[in-house]
């Protein structure tokens, strides 16, 4: 739990920068995206969940890939050697022999992001 607590300030900054465009307001859909990420990993596995979240959004949907960008920023805080990778999917694929450790770090980051997104005002999408 200490790791999660230590990541929350970084999660707030990452969400603000990547999803909130520098503001403390995020589209409501991102709350659902981040809340369901950990469940997706547990049900489908890490690589299928990353593949799903890497998929380009359909017209009218928010870009799920931003969640992966936030998580990548957070795992780089946990372990600085993760910084040498291009993105979260590359990190996982190039560390497949240590998938359990990487998955644990990603799920820790996901919990911190899930808690941090509560700081943000959730806004409805304008029609």
Q: What is the pLDDT of residues 12-42, one digit of tens each?
A: 999 999 999 999 999 999 999 999 999 999 9
Q: Is the pLDDT reported for residue 118 higher than 90? A: yes
Residue of 59 and 42 predicted with greater confidence: 42
pLDDT for 126 equals 58
Q: Is the pLDDT reported for residue 125 higher than 80? A: no
pLDDT for 68 equals 97
Q: Would you say residue 78 lies in a domain? A: yes
Per the structure, the count of domains in the chain is: 1
Q: Would you say residue 126 lies in a domain? A: no
CB distance 51 to 107 below 8 Å:
no
Calculate the average pLDDT of the chain.
92
Which CATH number is 32's domain given? 1.10.520.30
Q: Would you say residue 45 lies in a domain? A: yes
């Amino acid at each position: 739990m200490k790791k999660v607590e230590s990541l929350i300030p970084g999660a707030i900054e990452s969400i603000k920068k990547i999803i909130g465009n520098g503001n403390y307001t995020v589209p409501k859909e991102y709350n659902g995206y981040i809340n369901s990420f950990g469940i997706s990993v547990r049900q489908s596995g890490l690589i299928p969940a990353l593949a799903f979240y890497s998929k380009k959004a359909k017209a009218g949907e928010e870009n799920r890939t931003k969640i992966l960008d936030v998580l990548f920023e957070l795992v780089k805080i946990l372990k600085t050697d993760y910084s040498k990778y291009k993105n979260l999917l590359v990190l996982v694929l190039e560390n497949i022999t240590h998938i359990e450790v990487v998955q644990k770090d990603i799920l820790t980051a996901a919990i911190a992001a899930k808690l941090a997104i509560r700081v943000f005002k959730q806004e409805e999408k304008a029609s």
